[in-house]
Chains A and B, each alone.
Chain A
Amino acid sequence: MTSRRQFLMGCSAAIASMAGGRVGNLIFANPHAAGPAATTDDILVMVFLRGGCDGLSLVTPYDNPIYVAKRGDPSNGGLAVSGALDLAPNNSTFDSSIGLHPQAAPLKELYDQGHLAIVHACGLDNDTRSHFDAMDYIERGTPGNKNMSSGWLTRHLQCVHPDGTLPTLAAAAAAPISLLGEPDAVAMNDTRSYRLSGGWHYTNNPDPRYKDAMLNTAQTFYTGGDPVLAAGKRTIETIRALSGTTAYTPTTSYPDGDFGDSLQTVAQMIKLNVGLRIATVDLGGWDHHESEGVNDSWGPFNQLAATLSQGLQAFYNDLPAHQSKLTVVVMSEFGRRLGKNLSNGTDHGHGNVMLVLGGQVNGGKVYGTWPGLQDENLDQHEDLKITTDFRKVLSEIVVRRLGNGKLGTVFPGITPQIYASTNRLGIVNGTDMPIDYSSALNPVYLPMARR
């Protein structure tokens, strides 16, 4: 892996060519400069399904009679999934068959190949049914406390001090809350147009005396630590870093649209070998209170399930050389209600699925304990119960794949029971290390001062 400086010298020839004492100005700030460097160079990609993905339709107990009755028989236009792709769950707690939605055939392939694992009845064990609160709690990593001033990925990065050109990428218009307070998080939905647009003589003029004259002037404005100044500074550093990159040609076929585009941006950055460790990608639009259409080609759920599945497969297969270091986690803020509503949709629910995809994933298995769908086994008599805390899944990846045992810092308030040595999921390979459950945080997290 190249360091930031090597990246600038090597990949961005245009900048290197103008060197002459200027490269020194271009070295990226590393806000985590002090302390030990990261122990692994694994890459974690967090895919967040915004809006409350209907996990009971994505990984469905399709022949469970309670499920069919509450969702409605598909032969009568109901919302129970028809034509599910049966999975071998390798999990004795299920009391019915379990299958993937028919649009998730690409996920079935990954599952059967052993790259994809599923966790069911999983999520944020908090009573909220609010999208905004639930996402806040999950992404800050502090259920019940949305005033935590940093995201869980930010605190993980603080622990491991990655030293790359571009360790953190939010493939979106803005960074998600899981990266709140991370001054080096780069948000970008497109590498190719990431440059300053202005009059030709003072931006693209090949004469080194004038090239980037505007950028050079702008750079002098953005020194200092407040969020606006830090973001401007990071913007200029990123423009310079990307100025030598070319258009990306994937080796697989991504779905059209923002999700496929975002995954391609992440894949490009991984292949550029710029030290990417954490990337976030969003796929929104899952809030189907009305006309969910799980069995209809026009159905919004149907289309999103296809986009998700095709995107994940294209992304994973586009990176054969990196799969052994790659882990992709897919989650949503909550599942949806077991019973459908009168608008042929589903209201906000509770337990849901998480997907874990990667070269070190013990796939081909559905993890977790199925709580059952009988009334007394439901949360508030309405929704799938949560038997696996989302932090249990993420903790195992943080420890075993990302080499960070400071779970008390990443998830303040986490109890040893959640990641107890006696009942770990074993969803990814890796070494367990001593776990530090104490919170190393000061009561207040402040983004570190920039150089």
Chain B
Amino acid sequence: MAITRRHFLATTTALSAATTAAVLMPYDVIEVQAFSQAATSAPAAATNAPLAVLALNRMGFGPRNGDIAAFNALGSTDTARLAAYVEQQLNPAAINDSMCDAKLAAARLKIQYDAHTDPDPTKSYPARHEALALDTLSQDITALWPRARGVAPYLAWQERVRPANEVRVATWIRAVYSKRQLNEVMADFWHNHFNVNTNSSSVIAATFPVYDRIIRTHSLGNFRTFVKEIAKSAAMMYYLDNVSNKAGGGEGGNENYARELFELHTLGSDNYLKFYDDRGSVGTITYNGQTYVRGYIDRDVYEAARCLSGWTLNNGHWEHPLPDDGTFLFYNDWHDNALKIVLGVQFPYNQGIEDAEQLFDLLCGHPGTARHVCTKLCRRLVSDTPPQTLIDAAVATWMANIGAPDQIKRVLRTILLSGEFRASSGQKVRRPFELVAAYVRGVGADLPIDEVLADPSAGDYWESFFWQYDAAGQPLFEWPTPTGYPDLASYWANTNGMLRRWNLPYLLVQPWGGNMAVDLRAQTDAAVPGGTCIQITDYWISRLCGYSITPGVRTELIHFLAQVAQGGDPNQPPKPMNGEPNTADLITERIEALVQLIAITPDFQRR
């Protein structure tokens, strides 16, 4: 198997941004709280969004035309409406999603490469140029594995990474069109919690539909089950190297996955007691009358790596050549069957595969894991610095349902029905994916559909779309480090990312920039025929934001559309001003600029 270079840690800071606001230690509380004010203080003078907007922005990617009315029809009070919406969203299978299903079926993504001829016929392949449906999305690991293997018969690189690109397109389509919006938000959350980078190995790219399916299967389910399925996946095996974690020979196994399992997936770095060399001095905590070790030390990571030795794949390795189909393999010859002590618990000799099962039980049952993951959930859904009361409530639900098949769903219900959730308007910054998805939904644009044209270099709209979008700093499934994308305003509020986010509404509709389809002028004329500058501005504010944004910002938008500085009148329809050519195109361009400016407002940059 060709081994692809690791690109871990290819970028910056986010690493620390991601750990910054993790669980607070008591002695840090004062400083951290003050920091959070500095880093994420609430917006100045913005009007609080109504609950419908808050719900649609947090449990989804913002309102489509009609979504706010649909929310408001769910009950007679905010409380009733929110409760009904949360229950609806927590049961995605019961939601009719036929529009999204139709868009997925109609999706086309080009595949294009030249013929390759080689003296070895197994290395040769013909040229290909087609706009294909997303056919790998439903394939299982054995069907996808030939793309991952990199052995005869050889496939073009584009064929090997195709499955990841199909997941990327499907993820955009679902975010924009699916009515199961919370399901999409949670898929995004868990993809980041259990981050893998599709660029770090062709195996990850080739098998990515399987990884995406694992995440979607368990995203509202039981965390312990979830962790095990992730551990067995080809994507995580290759991303964090456990596929080659073999014990013996006097040298160490590979501890990469074991370390991140502790530090990122379960207990979190706030439970890393790096200053302790021996377990005996670490101490204990109690939760609900149960006693637990206080945290983990390096020794626990080393021991966990031994527990996980032999967890690998049927990948054609010479020591276990067949089958070579990418399925999970526990290979006992690589397993360290000696005695181990993890988190103060002695594991018996010769437990084989049960070592890791016991490890997962210990980690997933620990209240430190509950606190680490619940804090991240609250940060995603509520605020960069979620109130401690809310985290405590989420942890309580988590621990009380530790074995429940719908454990995560119950935790989400606790968070989403809380007073803290309802009081959190405007406290999150939209990252690029959330911003663009919200814009596309708000203006009712259609995502591109690739086509084969006479010009072979044209028609690959998705590639252009990703080229433009990725520059904003959040290419999907390509965050290099296992932390996942940062979820804090302090990371995203920077000059480069800000400008890219402002430019995307313009770039993505250009024929060379994504070819997204939307006719803002026709929609304006239909909704507010002959409308004044004030009416048109208010219409597009309501479509994109769903509520009355900061008054001064609204005034400036109206003045732009009317060109008040050139003598225009806000109470008239937009007109060409001095020196401007008197064409319909000009007014169309100005309305398009207005809508882009609404997307540029600080109000739209938050959710």
Contact = CB atoms under 8 A, between A and B. Distances in A.
B493 A230 contact: yes
A296 to B, nearest CB: 11
A149 B38 contact: yes
Contact of A287 (B8, B559, B560): B8
B274 interface: yes
Tell me whether chain B's interface is mostly helix, strand or loop, or mixed.
helix
A181 to B, nearest CB: 7
Interface string B586-607: 1001101100110011100110
B495 A289 contact: no
A14 interface: no
Interface stretch (B248-256, B363-371, B404-412, B434-442): B248-256
A130 B298 CA distance: 10
A133 B590 contact: no
Nearest to B263: A130
Given A201-B589, A209-B578, A341-B254, A147 B32 contact: yes
Contacts of A51: 6, 8-10
Interface in A28-86: 48, 50-52
Contact of A232 (B18, B498, B579): B498
B593 A198 contact: yes
Interface stretch (B63-71, B133-141, B550-558): B550-558
A127 interface: yes
Contacts of A446: 34, 37-38
B5 A146 contact: no
Contacts of B14: 174
B234 to A, nearest CB: 15
Interface stretch (B41-49, B162-170, B185-193): B41-49
A175 B12 CA distance: 7
Given A199-B592, A209-B579, A226 B44 contact: yes
A161 interface: no
Contact of B20 (A48, A146, A226, A337): A146
A228 B11 contact: no
A218 B495 contact: no
B298 A127 contact: yes
A447 interface: yes
Nearest to B429: A228
Contacts of A447: 38
Interface stretch (A186-194, A269-277, A352-360, A391-399): A186-194
Contacts of A214: 560, 593, 596-597
A289 B589 contact: no
A50 B12 contact: yes
Contact of B35 (A149, A224, A232, A284): A149
A129 to B, nearest CB: 6
Given A130-B259, A130-B263, A187 B490 contact: no
Contacts of B490: 180, 227
A173 B35 contact: no
Contacts of A139: 13, 16
Contacts of B590: 199, 201-202
B600 A221 contact: yes
Interface of A is mostly: loop
Contact of B560 (A207, A217, A340): A217
Contacts of B497: 173-174, 187
Contact of A231 (B42, B44, B493): B493
Contacts of A126: 274
Contacts of B40: 226-227
B329 interface: no
A224 B577 CA distance: 32
Contact of B605 (A170, A228, A284, A291): A228
B8 A284 contact: yes
Given A197-B507, A226-B43, A127 B7 contact: no
Contacts of A130: 259, 263, 269, 272, 274
A232 B245 CA distance: 47
A342 interface: yes
A286 B38 CA distance: 33
A337 B298 CA distance: 14
11 contacts: A50-B15, A127-B298, A129-B274, A139-B16, A195-B499, A198-B503, A217-B560, A221-B601, A227-B39, A228-B493, A444-B38
For the complex of A and B, the 5 pairs showing the least CB-CB separation, nearest first, are A51-B9, A284-B10, A149-B35, A50-B9, A287-B8
